[in-house]
Amino acid sequence: MNPIAIFIISFLGAAILVLLLVVVFILKQIKRSTKLKARQYSLYGDYAVKGETVFLGDSLTEFFRIEEFFHAHNPYNRGIAGDTTDDVLERLESNVIDLEPSKVFLQIGTNDLEARKKGKKEMTVENIKKILSRLQEALPEGEIYFLSLYPVNRKAKFFSPFFVRGRKNEDIVKINAAVKTFCEEKGITFIDVYSRLVDENGNLNKDYTFEGLHLSFEGYKKVVEAVKPYL
């Protein structure tokens, strides 16, 4: 092998190693940020008004401008980007239950389909059940709502696969069906947002998303249509 080839291979190897280190660093910072945000929410609880409405979830909730859409109801947004059902379970008491809300709208689960290696659907459903059960137990006078997981579209943009990653609509449909059955058994209101966002091919409508995972303003308008009757 000539010196130029050796140099190129060495350079590419070093570049890949640096890139991996940067990715690891960014992921650690994101995780640290979510922990800090959960702590901030618990601190904000000292200034919150009890008995109000809380929206709980991941980035799909955090990026949902509920204060603009539902300003008359003084809702609290307790969404954290990157959260899985495990994360929500961990912060459920301090971020939500301590507020003694009269209504809780939960939307969580899509990140589990990326974060988990095995038992994605089953573990996601079980954790959602735990969250809903804990909310019912701790808030016997409260109204609990579950917003169905939203569809995804890995063909919305050329870069959509990078954002959608391991999420599949067939898994999302199965999770929604299982959670809906549980909600019916427990007297929890299941709000079907999935069918409002899906296109004729069973994917998240391109008009409702930025990159196949997160919703655009038009997408959130559809969520508002589904949620508004329950506020």
Instruction: Dump pLDDT digits (tens) for 170-213.
Output: 999 999 999 999 999 999 999 999 999 999 999 999 999 999 99
Is it the case that residue 26 has pLDDT exceeding 50? no
Determine contact, residues 156/211, Cβ cutoff 8 Å. Answer: yes
Summarised one tens digit per residue, pLDDT across range 78-137 is 999 999 999 999 999 999 999 999 999 999 999 999 877 677 899 999 999 999 999 999
Q: What's residue 36's pLDDT?
A: 87
Q: What's residue 24's pLDDT?
A: 39
Question: Which CATH architecture group holds 49-230?
Answer: 3-Layer(aba) Sandwich (3.40)
Q: What is the pTM of this model?
A: 0.86
Sequence spans of domains, the chain: 1-47, 49-230
Q: What is the mean pLDDT of residues 217-222?
A: 98
CA separation, residue 99 to residues 16, 54, 139, 141, 148 (Å) = 46, 9, 10, 13, 24
Sign of the alpha-carbon torsion through 194, 197, 199, 202? negative
Is it the case that residue 15 has pLDDT exceeding 70? no
**DSSP strand E in 73-163: where?**
76-79, 103-107, 143-147
Kindly report the number of other CB atoms within 10 A of residue 105's CB atom.
27
Q: What's residue 119's pLDDT?
A: 72
